[in-house]
């Protein structure tokens, strides 16, 4: 007699799903109808909901923080398409930090990562259809960091999560994590703010403005209403080049590229407009083309504006007064070579938190992107502070 075959457990780790949140009133007073958030989960939520971890992505990130699994899928549910199952098995942007046996161990923690409101990877954004059936485009309202937290709070409600064991993010994700701790102090047990600050500085506003102008001055931009024709990929690519310079350190660019020529090209041409490229120029071109292939220009403007809105003390008194309402454990970490969110800005945040808090250092030659690249260091910090056994 043959053994009875039991079907494999259905797992949806790393598979994109969508939460319908209804109408959301934004900080501006605008009511955004039919809000949708794309999100992914890993692991299983404990019966008492005590093991939930929210991971917040950075500016052009998405919900796919870690590799998932397609074990046990059927073909009938609307989200169980072949494309989504295949996407679940691709690398995530924080692999090594999130996953089975990692610092954020998906065998223990129920991990949630949502694509930001205003983005272009499944959540409501400028390319989404407005009530009249055409893309929002130039009509899409400004989204603040607090608006993104309000949307994620509704998602948490739908998932049955009353309190996050940890909210963690780097860069813009760190700003969102911080805002969670202030907006919903009783719903956050621990907060990790990595390579981020308490408020976007004038220097960061200047970089953001420059990137926005690069997109808006593309002739194909058409004031944001370009969806019926060619997209402004040249302007988006230029914005990415500008941004990427701030993400890496001058030391790393010198060590990797120096003044070497791009292979088979001669930078010493007879005319500036037709000369060959240096290797560092080829590197920036590559980053520009990669982003333009996966991101929408209006969404870039939207999330860039969201980051520029970041000031956790806005309307709440002093920074210390704003943070006094928090009730969580903290990890504040900075990348030592970060020239976009320098360590002194992390120190300002830590000094204003209730109690005594040190700024932990991530050592990296890579600049701001070190928070993504130095996953062993980030993992050790999480285990030593906010995810202690």
Tell me the catalytic residues.
Answer: 171, 338, 368
> CA separation (Å) from 353 to 53, 94, 362?
21, 27, 20
Phi and psi of 311, rounded to 5°? -160, 100
What are the start-end ranges of the H helices in the chain? Answer: 82-88, 145-159, 172-183, 202-216, 233-247, 250-256, 279-294, 297-308, 319-323, 343-352, 370-373, 375-384
Residue 107 to residue 165: CA distance in whole angstroms: 15
The tokens for 360 are: 């932990």
Cβ(134)–Cβ(304) below 8 Å: no
- For residue 100, which of 4, 14, 192, 189 has the smallest C-alpha distance? 14
DSSP string of 33-61, one letter each residue = EEEEEEEEEES---TTSTTEEEEE--TT-
> Are 59 and 371 contacting, i.e. CB atoms less than 8 angstroms apart?
no
Nearest CA-CA partner of 124 in 113, 110, 135: 135
SS3 193: strand
């Amino acid at each position: 007699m043959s053994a009875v075959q039991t079907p494999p457990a259905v797992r949806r780790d790393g598979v994109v799903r969508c939460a319908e949140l209804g109408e959301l009133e934004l900080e501006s007073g605008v009511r955004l109808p039919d809000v949708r958030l794309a999100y992914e989960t890993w692991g299983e939520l404990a019966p008492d909901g005590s093991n939930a971890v929210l991971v917040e992505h950075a500016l052009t990130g998405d919900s796919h923080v870690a590799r998932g699994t397609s074990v046990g899928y059927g073909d009938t549910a609307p989200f169980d398409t072949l494309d989504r199952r295949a996407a679940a098995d691709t690398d995530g942007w924080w692999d090594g930090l999130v996953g089975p046996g990692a610092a954020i161990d998906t065998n223990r923690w129920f991990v949630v990562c949502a694509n930001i409101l205003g983005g272009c990877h499944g959540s409501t954004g400028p390319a989404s259809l407005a009530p009249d059936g055409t893309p929002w485009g130039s009509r899409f309202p400004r989204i603040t960091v607090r608006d993104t937290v309000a949307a994620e709070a509704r998602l948490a409600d739908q998932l049955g999560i009353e309190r996050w064991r940890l909210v963690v993010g780097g860069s813009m994700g760190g700003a969102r994590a911080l805002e969670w701790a202030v907006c919903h102090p009783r719903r956050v047990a621990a907060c990790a703010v990595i390579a981020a600050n308490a408020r976007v500085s004038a220097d960061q506003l200047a970089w953001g403005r420059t990137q926005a102008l690069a997109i808006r001055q593309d002739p194909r931009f058409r004031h944001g209403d370009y969806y019926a024709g060619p997209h402004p990929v040249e302007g988006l690519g230029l914005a990415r080049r500008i941004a990427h310079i701030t993400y890496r350190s001058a030391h790393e660019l010198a060590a990797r590229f120096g003044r070497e020529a791009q292979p088979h090209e001669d930078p010493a041409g007879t005319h500036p407009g037709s000369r060959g490229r240096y290797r560092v120029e080829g590197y920036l071109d590559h980053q520009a083309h990669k982003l333009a292939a996966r991101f929408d220009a209006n969404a870039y403007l939207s999330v860039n504006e969201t980051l520029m809105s970041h000031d956790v003390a806005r309307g709440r008194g002093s920074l210390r007064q704003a943070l006094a309402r928090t009730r969580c454990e903290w990890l504040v970490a900075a990348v030592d070579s970060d020239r976009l969110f320098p360590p002194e800005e992390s120190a300002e945040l830590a000094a204003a938190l209730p109690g005594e808090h040190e700024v932990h250092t991530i050592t990296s030659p890579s600049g701001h992107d070190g928070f993504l690249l130095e996953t062993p260091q980030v993992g050790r910090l999480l285990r030593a502070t906010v995810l202690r056994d």
